[in-house]
Structure 1
Amino acid sequence: MPSVKTDSNPSTTPPSIISLAFDLPNICSLVGLFSALLALYFALIGIYPAAMIGLIWAVFFDWNDGKIARKMKNRTAKQGQVGGQVDSLIDLVSFGICPAVILLSYGNYDPIFFPGAFIIVAACVLRLSYFNVYGLDGKSTYQGLASDNNAIILVFVFLLERFISTSAFTIVLYITILVIAALNVASIRTPKLSGSWYYVLALYTLFITVAYGWLLV
């Protein structure tokens, strides 16, 4: 049986896994993951203003990893592919699992909230998987609502929590989660927010941080 030749060129040797943590765009993505885990932690213990702050910063860092990657001239195609996978997996945590845990926690883990939690996670999985294969639906539009909008909408809706009864807001929250999930997988085109929208998000992040930070005082 003929021997199989292997390429001894060091340049073809895959990098170590830990080296991915030192790639600048991945560092930004991982800081976003840290923000999302803070959101999960505070949701689990019922401190929702802090959870909302963590969630909106997860969005902000999610928007920045791509900007950083595009400005790096010496980044290889493989680094870009791995970075895309890192970003996608973190998006699932930030914009699928975080909303699900917030819903479950706010509903005191009543089993009636489990279907909604499953639906938002499943919709996020399908949405991200579709985008990873098919990409943009046109030059600057997505099919379905991009998953980062899940958090952008949720932190805004949560501002109502202090103005209506807990039972009423529970219904509002459940409906919001179901509507967001439906939009994630809907056969509609939504715009890719870029350019000046970045500065809108930056201002929105500061507004949300100050608003919920004031509630924590």
Structure 2
Amino acid sequence: MLRYLLDPANAVTSLGILFSGLALQAVLAGRLELAVAIGLWSMLADQLDGIVAKRTPNRGSDVAEIGKSLDCLGDVIYGAVIPAIVIMVLGSGRLVATSLGIFMICAGALRLSYFSRSGLRGGYFTGVPLSYDVPLLAMFFMTRPWFPAETFNPTVMLSFFLLTCLHVSSIRIPAPSRAMYLVITAFSAVSSGMLIGQTLTSK
């Protein structure tokens, strides 16, 4: 099985899963900003593995199938599990936060199952991709100092409830262009740096 990880695209996907594991450890340690920063790297790996796959010559069908399954599993972790656990921890395990986290995981699994079956249609996704979750968390945590303490958690939870509903909706979202990939890369680099900076200064 390990030979499949020698494929460049699968190696990038596996690196993203590794980052997801580190992000989960950061959540368990209560370092939410750091977890989101690392989650951005997982998201970036997910955006890049498809590009690498297209540029890898003579890629076998069995390698591609393993890569597709590996990519889907990685998407569930960084796109649904990590944001859900961050929400649960942010809500101190209260019923509303726990219920929302479970809803996010279930919706994420359903969305990815649908995508695995249907894929892109005419260059469009059906439903908002899970790759929007971690960047939205990053924006919230970067702007957290400007939020009144009593409004931050409710705002985050309401936003993620609405976003989760959009994941399983029929809304059509265009696939990222080459320019958008550059924007995603720049956003991930800058945002993760800012969040890590927040983590260091909050000690």
TM-score range, shorter chain: over 0.9
Of 108, 111, 125, 2:109 maps to 125
- Equivalent residue for 2:78? 94
Separation (CA, whole Å) in 1 of partners of 2:84 and 2:192: 21
Tell whether 2:15 aligns with 1:24.
no
RMSD between superposed Cα atoms in Å = 1.3
**How far apart are residue 21 of structure 1 and its match?**
2.3
Q: Which structure is larger by alpha-carbon Rg, 1 or 2? A: 1
Separation (CA, whole Å) in 2 of partners of 1:166 and 1:48: 16
- Equivalent residue for 1:34? 18
Separation (CA, whole Å) in 2 of partners of 1:28 and 1:173: 30
| Residue correspondences, number | 200
Identity %: 23
Separation (CA, whole Å) in 1 of partners of 2:174 and 2:181: 13
- Equivalent residue for 1:202? 185
**How far apart are residue 210 of structure 1 and its match?**
2.0
SS in 1 for 2:196: helix
Counting helix residues as a fraction of each chain, which structure ranks higher? 2
Contact 1:104 1:113 in 2 (8 A): yes
Query: Where in structure 1 are there 5+ consecutive unaligned residues?
Result: 1-16
Deviations 1:64-85 (A, max 9, x none): 1111111011101221111011
Separation (CA, whole Å) in 2 of partners of 1:95 and 1:181: 11
- TM-score norm. by structure 1 comes to 0.88
- Equivalent residue for 1:213? 196
**How far apart are residue 166 of structure 1 and its match?**
3.6
Deviations 1:25-71 (A, max 9, x none): 11111111111122211122221221121111111111111111110
Contact 1:160 1:169 in 2 (8 A): no
Tell whether 2:142 aligns with 1:159.
yes
Separation (CA, whole Å) in 2 of partners of 1:114 and 1:216: 25
Separation (CA, whole Å) in 1 of partners of 2:102 and 2:116: 21
- Equivalent residue for 1:137? 121
Deviations 1:119-161 (A, max 9, x none): 11111111100010011122x1111001111222221122232
Deviations 1:135-192 (A, max 9, x none): 1122x11110011112222211222322224431110121122111111011110111
Contact 1:31 1:61 in 2 (8 A): yes
Contact 2:17 2:77 in 1 (8 A): yes
36-45 or 54-63: which moved more?
A: 36-45
SS in 2 for 1:190: strand
Separation (CA, whole Å) in 1 of partners of 2:74 and 2:106: 15
- Paired letter, 1:62: D
SS in 2 for 1:142: strand
- Equivalent residue for 1:3? none
- TM-score norm. by structure 2 comes to 0.93
- Paired letter, 2:194: A
